[in-house]
Amino acid sequence: MIPYGRQSISEEDIAAVIEVLRSDLITQGPVADVFERAVADYCGVAHAVVVANGTAALHLATLALGLGPGGLLWTSPITFVASANCARYVGADVDFVDIDPATYNMSVDALAAKLGVAEAEGSLPDVVVPVHFAGASCDMAAIRELSQRYGFKVLEDAAHAIGGRYRDRPVGSCEFAEVATFSFHPVKIITSGEGGMIVTNDEEIAAHARLLHTHGVTRDESIMIGSSHGQWYYQQVALGFNYRITDIQAALGLSQMKRIDEFVARRNEIADVYREAFADLPLLCQEIPDDVLSAYHLFMIELERHDRAYVYERLREFNVGTHVHYIPVHLQPYYQDLGFRAGQFPNAEAFYDRAVTLPLYPTMTQEEVETVVSAVRTVLSE
Ligand SMILES: *Cc1c(COP(=O)(O)O)cnc(C)c1O
């Protein structure tokens, strides 16, 4: 079965990991610092804090933004559950903004309309989380304008989009957001096994996230209460977590950064082949705006007349491992228990009913790409 996503691990990646295994420090140490610097430089952003996974990055970002009980976070219903769960971790409420039916990203028009209503009702969000779905950036300039008008903070969930670009800037530059987060899970653009990162130009957000990712414990005298007792002294000044990454993982992530542009270029190449090969079929593909370079974490087709379950199963008969991204978050039982109902976000629900994710990863061979193309052409001609 050709999987929908797969990591690409080189001999150089393996050597980098082995080097750490032979060293003295295998938990978070000097390689994690270098990995942070490499990602920050790549994104053109001032600060980066590497953590155990992308979910931890979202959790710490919401805390660093000051979200808490009584707070409100809005995100897209078409995302992985973590984009919404980060609000629940800190005791805040969640609401969703429907997607744009062409780009599948949070609709800026729907966001503007919902903000207008919320302003009148006194229920404006504190934080909005745009998710760069499948690797294609949201319209961040438009979202920034709304954030300035309505006073909310912007946390970009860029789990799909490292290596992508928006208006000639790398995703994660934080030009239009307070903070952005990445995931380095193996199906994402680069991997560290498990891993995540918080990037920001705000020194306070970075310092807060850094403190909380290691128990809220510090050895920095400048943030201690009173004075240090000596070289051995540390203080817990906040309630933090153990969200550190290991240097074993950081070494893999750092080594993968060398090939990030190659990965994104190959993903775009395969996506172009799919788009051309499917042009005459009864399906839609994600619209990518001219000012966006997608990192192409995912490639999905939206069926115009075929039944999704049928296509999903038929493609598997051709060894094409399909997947569905995503089940709308508000339809999950956990969110239904919080009062969300089917019918609330119709574009997201219609998209879910018709979407099928096809295999896309940089090590796909020409033959595998052709297998996918011919299977899709066969099944959609039935
Ligand atoms: C993968 C993903 C996450 C979570 O990342 P992990 O590293 O798996 O914790 C968050 N948001 C989105 C949109 C994702 O796809």
Index of the ligand 1 atom closest to the CA of residue 82: 10
50, 51, 80, 190, best to mutate for ligand 1 pocket (most atoms within 8 Å of CB): 80
Distance from the CA of 144 to the center of ligand 1, in angstroms?
A: 23
Predicted pLDDT of residue 200 = 98
227-232-238 Cα angle (round to 5) = 60
Index of the ligand 1 atom closest to the CA of residue 53: 7
pLDDT digits (tens, 9 = 90+) for 305-323: 999 999 999 999 999 999 9
Predicted pLDDT of residue 220 = 93
Distance from the CA of 15 to the center of ligand 1, in angstroms?
A: 27
C-alpha dihedral over 75, 81, 82, 86, to 10 degrees? 60
Predicted pLDDT of residue 292 = 98
Predicted pLDDT of residue 369 = 98
In which residue ranges of the chain is CATH 3.90.1150.10 found? 260-380
Confirm if 91 and 69 have CB atoms less than 8 A apart: yes
pLDDT digits (tens, 9 = 90+) for 48-98: 999 999 999 999 999 999 999 999 999 999 999 999 999 999 999 999 999
Q: What is the mean pLDDT of residues 118-128?
A: 98
In which residue ranges of the chain is CATH 3.40.640.10 found? 11-257
Closest CA to 250 of 62, 49, 64, 56: 49
Number of other CB atoms surrounding residue 312 within 10 Å: 19
- Residue that is written with structure tokens 């999704």 in the block: 308
**Which residues contact residue 340 at a Cβ distance below 8 angstroms, ignoring those fewer than 6 apart?**
96, 330, 331
pLDDT digits (tens, 9 = 90+) for 152-161: 999 999 999 9
Cα distances (Å, whole numbers) of residue 277 to 145, 270, 290, 378: 38, 11, 21, 12
Whether residue 295 has its Cβ less than 6 Å from ligand 1: no
Backbone angles phi, psi at 257, to 5 degrees: -60, -30
Confirm if 291 and 164 have CB atoms less than 8 A apart: no
- Residue that is written with structure tokens 């069926």 in the block: 303
Say which CATH topology domain 11-257 has. Answer: Aspartate Aminotransferase; domain 2 (3.40.640)
The yes or no reply on domain 260-380 and CATH 3.90.1150.10 is yes
